[in-house]
Amino acid sequence: MPLSRPDITRLEREAVARVLDSPRLSLGPEVVKFEKMLASYLGARHTVAVNSGTSALHLCVRALGIGDDDEVITTPFSFVASANCILYERARPVFVDIDPRTMNLDTALVEAKISKRTKAILPVHVFGQPTDMIGLGALADKYRLKVIEDACESIGATCGEKKVGTFGDCSVLAFYPNKQMTTAEGGAIITDNDSVASACRSMRNQGRSEGSTWLAHERLGYNYRLSDIHSALGVAQLSRIEELLDKRKRAADLYARAFEQVEGISLPAVIPETTRSWFVYVVLLDPQFTRDERNQILMGMRQSGIGCSDYFPPIHLQPFYVKQFGYRRGDFPVCESISDRTIALPFFGDLEEEDVAYVASVLETELRKVRA
């Protein structure tokens, strides 16, 4: 049973085939169509499609003028790209510990980390759970900071009445195959700022300006384009987005029911005034379990044919960050404690009740083994 699986139907296959039968495999109409559909869905002025969420983050950092020796406040509990994108421009990620319930940046700890060098806050909606954008937005306004919203794991989630991805100066989505919707590889920048959108469109396409000739480059750029093949897949998936989100919520509900009587774990928290978009299903072992015991449980589940993982290892304890910045265990204790006890279970929209029951049974068995 895999950890994740994309939801691909005849609609997606036919959409891709139509592009393959056309003369425009890249820089064609499907990219524009995908961007317009995505902007409409989110209620945003601009979306700029790129080849990954990582590329989207990098272009946001550049477009906002963040560079040498600037600081960006962010979370240590995320996929590493949300911090690496800051380093790409020779700025420094400044980590703040996380809220143990939401697993997102702890707003109450952010203000103490703001310095004269701070240029932006980069919150991540971890596992599809919206972070406190109201509180972070107030801090950003108070200190005149930019906000780059990493919504890569959370398309369709809401904070109050607004969809995530519409709070920051710019925001990013990602469409890797484990996400709620996929373009195989791909991402997007979301912004209401005309200048940011224009700069990102240029930088994704080798620094060409819109309407310029192929060999005219007005700024430093990259090959971060999304092809029409990927975009056609995105158009088809986005046309099914509510179905895709509903199927994943159904799978999450199956897990919640299956684990009602299982001792030793906590389920994903329900946070008032937010709607989670189900990216992964991560349970948390109780504090008495050690990291080694968690890893033993993961090994036992894998031996039973179940795809599972720890999710996420702390960024600050990744070898590169330890070597570069001297981080060590104890620097962000909440993040480290949470990370030591996470188990990501198989999660995709087509999970059946018997699949979930099997996963729950094996996890309960492995928990008993560790306790014995």
Strand partners, 274: 159
pLDDT in tens, 94-105: 999 999 999 999
Q: How far, in Å, are 73, 75, 119, 289, 364 from residue 332 at the CA level?
A: 14, 10, 22, 19, 30
Structure confidence by residue, pLDDT tens digits, 129-166:
999 999 999 999 999 999 999 999 999 999 999 999 99
Pairing of strands 71-74, 118-122: parallel
Q: What is the identity of the amino acid at 88?
A: Y
Which long-range contacts link 159-163 to residues 24+ away (Cβ below 8 Å)?
159/130, 159/131, 159/132, 159/133, 159/134, 159/273, 159/274, 160/134, 160/273, 160/274, 162/43, 163/42, 163/43
Could you tell me what percent of the chain has a pLDDT over 70?
Answer: 100
Q: Are 120 and 72 in contact (CB under 8 A)?
A: yes
Are the C-beta atoms of residues 55 and 175 closer than 8 Å to each other?
A: no
Q: How far apart are CA 306 and CA 284, in angstroms?
A: 17
Nearest to 343, CA basis, from 253, 276, 247, 255: 255
Least confident of 70-79, 207-216, 358-367: 207-216
pTM (two decimals): 0.97
pLDDT of residue 372: 81
Residues 165-175, mean pLDDT to the nearest whole number: 98
User: What pLDDT, in 10s, does the model give residues 239-271?
Assistant: 999 999 999 999 999 999 999 999 999 999 999
- Number of other residues whose CB lies within 10 A of the CB of residue 44: 20
Cα(354)–Cα(254) distance, rounded to whole angstroms? 10
The rounded mean pLDDT for the chain is 97
The residues that bridge with 282 in the sheet, in sequence order, are 344
- Measured on CA atoms in the order 275, 278, 283, 284, is the torsion positive or negative? negative
- Reported as a single tens digit per residue, the pLDDT across 50-90 is 999 999 999 999 999 999 999 999 999 999 999 999 999 99
pLDDT in tens, 313-351: 999 999 999 999 999 999 999 999 999 999 999 999 999
Q: Which domains does the chain have, with CATH numbers?
A: 10-238 (3.40.640.10), 241-371 (3.90.1150.10)
Q: What is the pLDDT of residue 20?
A: 98
Write out the two tokens for 70. 């600037």
